[in-house]
Amino acid sequence: MDHAAAAPMDKRVKKAMEPYWTENFGNPNALYKEGLIARNAVETAREDIAKILGARAKEIIFTNGGTESDNLAIFGVVKNFKNGHIITTKFEHHAVLNSCKHLEKEGFEVTYLDVSKEGVVKPEDVKRALRPETILVSIMYANNEIGTVQPIREIAKAIRDFKKKGVIDEAKQNFSRFTLPRNGAGSDASQNFASPRLSAAFPLFHTDACQAPGYLDINVERLGVDLMTINGSKIYGPKGIGLLYAKNGIKLEPLLYGGEQERKLRPGTENVPAIVGLAEALKIADKDREKESARLVKLRDYFINRLLGEIPKTVLNGHPTQRLPNNVNVSILDAEGESIVLYLDEAGVACSTGSACTSESLEPSHVILAIGKPHAYAHGAMRFSLGRSTTKKDIDYVMKVLPDIIKKLRMFSPVNIKI
């Protein structure tokens, strides 16, 4: 019940990776036969992945996972600027949120957009936040805690419209400066032409799509994104592998310096078996997407209905339908998340919580707070994420043990929150 944290690696993925550990162990950068076999495996994987994303092979950069891809997208773009403005949301993954917080310290301005009570970003809010100096917009595709799916296409369109308008405005401005020269206006205008503002190119749009590939359309053309993060371990692939899609022509600065691998954007010998595994995992996700989504939506809604119906004072976090087929997130009031997790663990059920007690920082879930719920709701927020192996029987088992656990915890709880 915690597939969003880690999914077991698919046997087919393991099989695809098998030859690249000891048999075909070559360094893809070597010129001899063993090297070529490895290079071929990496480039075939890259092409297969590009096809699934509707991208070109050279637009795929392999990294060590979602966090690195998010960092490469953000710092890779921003490093080309001394200052500027970034737009993101209050309920992003910490890989994005903390990168942005760091950039604030370096002098960049960041707008953290509010999200609706149901956990959805409004494209109008993105539109309103856009400024001429906005370099990057980073908004997740599906929230990892509450599973809400963001209107990525609409947000991409708002950004595209803003860029078009910017280009026209800039052209008008330059034209007027040429036609109405004032003191020193000539040199001003020429500077303007060479300005790095580049309305046509910025802001770029990045999305963290780590939770998406199994359930949502990840075609970059249709989504209209410039940069997209995907990782292996959430999609029944290996851990320690991820990718960043970066649209052709985008200038990125690397995070690491070293060899010339991955178009000099990610030095270090390629993780050949993991790359092969990631491609295989994506292929399976792509093939099974519709069927598996339809199956899980039914299970999800069955689970949510039972939770809300059978455990008093339980509320759903996030949108009832605009959410990942595998995500269930409810706040169970008057009981506390860590205690629930540990009691469920004892009963053989693994799930996660937004409670502060389980985090190193002792801060409750920023996602639950971002959707406007009080702290007590975050402390009692439970995420159940379903997966390929989840059946109705598993849900029935949770519903057999959970109500009694809650009854017990509430029995010695002094809290009585009014809904």
Partner 1 sequence: MADVDKWVYSNVVKDHFMRPKGFLLGEPKEGEFDSYGEVGSLACGDIIKVWIKVDKETDKIKDFKWQTWGCATAIASASAFAEMIMKNSGMKVEEAMNIKPKDIADYLGGLPARKFHCSILADKAFKKAVENFRSKN
- Give least dist CB 343 to partner 1, A: 7
Q: Please, which residue, 34 or 338, has the CB nearer to partner 1?
A: 338
- Give least dist CB 415 to partner 1, A: 4
SS3 string, 64-126, reads: CCHHHHHHHHHHHHHCCCCCCEEEEECCCCHHHHHHHHHHHHCCCEEEEECCCCCCCCCHHHH
Helix, strand, coil content of the chain in percent (nearest 5): 45, 15, 40
372 lines the binding site for partner 1 (CB under 8 A): no
- Give least dist CB 355 to partner 1, A: 6
Terminal Cα distance for the chain, rounded: 27
Name the phi and psi angles at 206, rounded to 5. Answer: -110, 140
357 lines the binding site for partner 1 (CB under 8 A): yes
Q: Which of 6, 255, 342, 350 binds partner 1 (CB under 8 A)?
A: 342
Which region among 1-9, 65-73, 309-317, 337-345 touches partner 1 (by CB under 8 A)? 337-345
Structural tokens at position 14: 């393991």
- The residue type at 34: E
334 lines the binding site for partner 1 (CB under 8 A): yes
- 86 closest CA partner among 78, 152, 68: 78
407 lines the binding site for partner 1 (CB under 8 A): no
Q: Please, which residue, 293 or 358, has the CB nearer to partner 1?
A: 358
- Give least dist CB 311 to partner 1, A: 16
- Give least dist CB 338 to partner 1, A: 4
Q: Please, which residue, 6 or 342, has the CB nearer to partner 1?
A: 342
- Give least dist CB 413 to partner 1, A: 4
CA 307-213-239 angle, 5° bins: 95
415 lines the binding site for partner 1 (CB under 8 A): yes
* Dist. CA 113–CA 85, nearest whole Å: 13
In 166-221, the DSSP E strands lie at 204-208
β-pair partners for 136 = 86, 204
Active site annotation includes 100: no
Q: Which of 356, 397, 401, 403 binds partner 1 (CB under 8 A)?
A: 356
Q: Please, which residue, 223 or 333, has the CB nearer to partner 1?
A: 333
Which region among 31-39, 111-119, 137-145, 353-361 touches partner 1 (by CB under 8 A)? 353-361
Catalytic, out of 100, 210, 351, 357: 357
- 94 closest CA partner among 122, 121, 66: 66
Q: Please, which residue, 30 or 342, has the CB nearer to partner 1?
A: 342
360 lines the binding site for partner 1 (CB under 8 A): yes
* Dist. CA 24–CA 383, nearest whole Å: 41
- Give least dist CB 191 to partner 1, A: 52
With b meaning 16 or more CB within 10 Å and e meaning fewer, what string describes 401-411? ebbebbeebbe
* 227, burial (CB in 10 Å: exposed 0-12, middle 13-18, buried 19+): buried
Size of the site for partner 1 (CB under 8 A): 25
Q: Please, which residue, 30 or 376, has the CB nearer to partner 1?
A: 376
Q: Please, which residue, 262 or 336, has the CB nearer to partner 1?
A: 336
346 lines the binding site for partner 1 (CB under 8 A): yes
H helix or E strand, kind and range, residue 135:
strand 134-138
376 lines the binding site for partner 1 (CB under 8 A): yes
Cα 76 to the center of its chain, rounded Å? 17
Strand-by-strand arrangement of the 242-246 sheet: 60-63, 242-246, 227-231, 204-208, 134-138, 85-89, 109-113
Structural tokens at position 195: 């300005």
Which region among 15-23, 171-179, 194-202, 371-379 touches partner 1 (by CB under 8 A)? 371-379
- Give least dist CB 357 to partner 1, A: 4
Q: Compute the Cα dihedral for 126, 127, 128, 130 and give only its sign.
A: positive
Site string for partner 1, 208-227 (x = CB under 8 A): --------------------
Q: Please, which residue, 39 or 383, has the CB nearer to partner 1?
A: 383
404 lines the binding site for partner 1 (CB under 8 A): no
Residue that is written with structure tokens 């927020």 in the block: 381
| Interacting residue ranges for partner 1, rule: CB under 8 A | 334-336, 338-339, 342-343, 346, 355-358, 360, 362, 364, 374-376, 379, 411-415, 417
Which residue numbers are catalytic?
Answer: 357
